[in-house]
Amino acid sequence: MDTNINSIKEALFIIQKIRDKESQYVSLNKYYIIHAGWNLMNINASMFNLNNIYIKEVKSNTDP
């Protein structure tokens, strides 16, 4: 099983970014988990699993 280290690092960075800025303007529904099967689902904190997932940030025009 091949683990994409860059994706894991990116996931951890995004999780930290959410924790740091959630009280300001970051909304969880702007972040999506991309699974191996390319299905999209909204991030749910209780469903986070860093095994074999890819995380992509989706920016909105409300971001500074």
Q: Which residue type sits at 39?
A: N
Q: What is the end-to-end Cα distance of the chain in Å, rounded?
A: 39
Whether this prediction's pTM lies above 0.85 is answered by no
**For residue 42, which of 24, 18, 9, 64 has the smallest C-alpha distance?**
18
Name the one residue in this structure whose structure tokens are 């924790």.
19
Domain ranges of the chain: 5-57
Instruction: Give pLDDT tens digits for 14-63.
Output: 666 655 554 444 444 444 443 333 333 444 433 444 444 445 555 555 54
What is the per-residue pLDDT for 41? 40
